[in-house]
């Protein structure tokens, strides 16, 4: 099961996301994240197209609807 998830640190390092972008994606429901103790973990299959996710994180919220 541990191999199915990225930690926040792994996502920021591997895909050059900021923690703020990840928080935005999580809050908008664009990626699934799971809290484990003090950290968020993200499903690996959610990051197949990181550029599309980055574009969605940077759009104003009302454009997602």
51 close to 13: Cβ distance less than 8 angstroms: no
Nearest to 44 by CA among 3, 18, 5, 2: 5
List the domain boundaries for the chain. 2-64
pLDDT tens for residues 3-62? 789 999 999 999 988 999 899 889 988 899 999 898 899 999 988 888 888 888 887 766
pTM over 0.85: no
3-state secondary structure (DSSP) of residue 25: helix
Q: How far apart are CA 13 and CA 1, in angstroms?
A: 21
């Amino acid at each position: 099961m541990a191999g199915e998830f990225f930690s926040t640190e792994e996502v920021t390092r591997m895909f050059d996301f900021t923690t703020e972008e990840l928080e935005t994606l999580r809050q908008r429901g664009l990626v699934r994240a799971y809290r484990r103790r003090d950290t968020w973990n993200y499903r690996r299959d959610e990051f197949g197209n990181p550029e599309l996710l980055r574009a969605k994180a940077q759009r104003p919220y009302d454009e997602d609807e």
